[in-house]
């Protein structure tokens, strides 16, 4: 493998346009790899078919031998978060996959059912809120997890099932985004973070000095430090498996293909087609997150199909790589330094003239 700098091409002189954000034709080649490098790979997570089984979490911990921790990141502790079925809580140094459970409900104002006089046949005179046809359609929709019509039927914003409380679960397996412009990689002073030949971003634990710069630089709050030694850890997209021609453990374990792994360009085309299908079936709230190469991080290597606003899933609505404004900041600092030198020089010259 070629020796790769920990910083982006903008800081190594290989990027004449000083691209710290925006689309990059080939981020792997820009990082110093030869033109015959492997295609960039990534994750496409389709949350519309996630069933919250947490197989991805278990597979990730088992393959990477990650220690057990509770929802607060306390190592070797088993605790309940009290937040529904989500006891992982969030991504961390010991949890590189996190399946979020979001319960949404909407109360519906229904009239009280009425019945005939005592002794009357209530099957003939009684009325109910929902007819048998409605009940059958509701049961059918509930039984179809992968049915896009069911997603619309139980949308608490638009659903009309006739129940006094409409509920739906949003489930999503979160992971490191392996950004095109990775702020964590740009600020690492030791080279512990590097871009692989597959276009992913990996931490080398034996080189990390625990400075924590990357933690503050991540716009998603993904990378985290272990409290016992201070080093940082995050998803590697199973770099060791990729070099052996295997898929990441999480994608291999996913039973519904909610987590899809492969060539990033192909995944983007697949995601566009899936979104178009859901839109055609009436799921108007569906959207792609991290797919746009013109966003604040140049697009993600791990992107998502969501059924609600990003904030609902705990994702930032408009992530921006924290190093984007570094050139402007250095220019401003340089101008301020020159101004201070000018003021000091003027003061010294003025005092000399006064002494004469």
Contact 234, 222 (CB under 8 A): yes
Which residue from 135, 172, 131, 138 is spatially nearest to 153, judged by alpha carbons?
Answer: 138
Q: From residue 74, how far is each of 39, 94, 268, 335 by CA, in Å? A: 38, 9, 37, 46
Interacting residues of 112 by C-beta distance below 8 A, sequence separation 6+: none
- For domain 9-103+173-313, the question of CATH label 3.40.50.720 is answered with no
Q: Is the pLDDT of residue 141 over 60?
A: no
Contact 4, 202 (CB under 8 A): no
Q: What is the mean pLDDT of residues 291-307?
A: 91
Beta pairing partners, 1: none
Q: From residue 337, how far is each of 11, 321, 327, 343 by CA, in Å? A: 22, 26, 15, 10
What is the structure's pLDDT at 126?
Answer: 42
* 273 confidence band (pLDDT: 50, 70, 90): very high
Q: Is the pLDDT of residue 15 over 50?
A: no
Q: Is the pLDDT of residue 142 over 50?
A: no
Contact 264, 39 (CB under 8 A): yes
pLDDT cut 90: percent of the chain above it: 46
Contact 141, 200 (CB under 8 A): no
Q: Is the pLDDT of residue 128 over 90?
A: no
H or E element, residue 194: strand 193-195
237-272: pLDDT as tens digits: 999 999 999 999 999 999 999 999 999 999 999 999
146-173: pLDDT as tens digits: 455 555 555 554 555 545 567 888 999 9
Q: Is the pLDDT of residue 139 over 60?
A: no
Q: Which residue has the higher pLDDT, 186 or 252?
A: 252
What is the structure's pLDDT at 69?
Answer: 74
Contact 18, 330 (CB under 8 A): no
């Amino acid at each position: 493998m070629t020796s790769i700098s920990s910083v982006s091409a903008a800081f190594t002189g290989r990027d004449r346009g000083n691209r710290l954000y925006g689309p990059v034709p080939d981020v792997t080649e820009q990082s110093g790899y030869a033109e015959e490098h492997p295609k960039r790979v990534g994750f496409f997570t389709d949350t519309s078919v996630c069933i919250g089984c947490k197989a991805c979490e278990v597979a990730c911990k088992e393959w990477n031998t990650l220690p057990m921790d509770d929802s607060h990141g306390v190592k070797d502790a088993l605790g309940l978060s009290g937040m529904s079925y989500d006891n992982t809580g969030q991504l961390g140094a010991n949890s590189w996959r996190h399946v979020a459970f979001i319960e949404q409900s909407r109360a519906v104002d229904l009239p009280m059912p009425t019945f005939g006089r005592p002794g009357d046949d209530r099957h003939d005179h009684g009325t109910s809120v929902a007819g048998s046809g409605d009940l059958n359609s509701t049961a059918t929709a509930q039984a179809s997890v992968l049915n896009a019509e069911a997603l619309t039927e139980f949308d608490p914003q638009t659903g009309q099932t006739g129940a006094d409380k409409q509920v739906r679960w949003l489930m999503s397996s979160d992971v490191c985004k392996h950004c095109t412009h990775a702020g964590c990689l740009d600020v690492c002073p030791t080279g512990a973070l590097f871009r692989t030949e597959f276009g992913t971003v990996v931490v080398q634990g034996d080189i990390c000095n625990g400075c924590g710069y990357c933690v503050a630089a991540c716009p998603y709050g993904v990378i985290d430090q272990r409290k016992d030694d201070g080093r940082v850890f995050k998803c590697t997209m199973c770099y060791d498996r990729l070099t052996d021609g295997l898929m990441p453990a999480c994608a291999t374990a996913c039973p519904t293909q909610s987590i899809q792994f492969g060539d990033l360009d192909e995944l983007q085309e697949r995601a566009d087609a899936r979104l178009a299908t859901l839109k055609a079936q009436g799921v108007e709230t569906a959207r792609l997150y991290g797919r746009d190469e013109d966003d604040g991080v140049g697009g993600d290597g791990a992107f998502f199909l969501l059924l609600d606003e990003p904030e609902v899933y705990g994702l930032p609505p408009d992530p921006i790589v924290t190093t984007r404004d570094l050139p402007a900041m250095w220019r401003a600092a340089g101008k301020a330094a020159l101004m201070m030198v000018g003021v000091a020089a003027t003061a010294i010259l003025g005092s000399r003239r006064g002494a004469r």
